[in-house]
Structure 1
Amino acid sequence: MDYAGPIDLDALIDLDALADRGASHWTFLAFPSHSVNEHGVPSDPAAQRYIAAVQSAGVPVGIWRNSPVDGTAYAAVAHDTIPQLHSSIERLSQFSESFAADLSERLFRGSSAGGT
């Protein structure tokens, strides 16, 4: 499954509201919180493509900006959709198995070097 479209901003789930109701998050992509753009998503195009691809597979995704890890935001899903997330990631043929980990590492390395 290849998808390169934009993130559906209207379909992003409100992870803070879920947390207020006692639901937990499962993160699948970390990025520097200062790199979140005016729409509340990471500004990096590769991160946006990855999140959009997961979202297009029918997985309800949210951006967790108020995480307890200083300087870190996450793309995440509600705990009850973890199996759906894993299944969709396995079918994302345009991304390597280590894509999210490699991308997160690159984003934080770039951030510490003064980039975004």
Structure 2
Amino acid sequence: MTAIADVVGAGADTRIVETWRMVGLAVFAGLFALLALRPHALPYLWELVLASKLALTLAALGYQLAGSATGTATILAADGGLFVLLLIAYLCVRGWRAISAPRGRAASA
């Protein structure tokens, strides 16, 4: 919800970036809800979400090491921490089972 205020308060030079961020947060909230409610219903969703969070974490780490971007510590903490939590959840629910689950079993899992 705070992202809405960020978009409204953004200047012309950052408004599109803040809008992109706000939409991304909403999309990931939906993806996390799907994973929580039906962890084996959608093949490759776990892997897609994990890959996204890992990519952002590695990009932030690279930028931080190069000293070429501000805000990398925030990204490392947020997306890095989220990646670790998602990986733990993936292992706990055996998320890889969604890939080979028969349609009937995946829908009821």
TM-score by length of 1: 0.28
Greater helix proportion: 2
Larger radius of gyration: 2
Alignment TM-score, normalising by the size of structure 2: 0.30
> Which protein is richer in strand relative to its size?
1
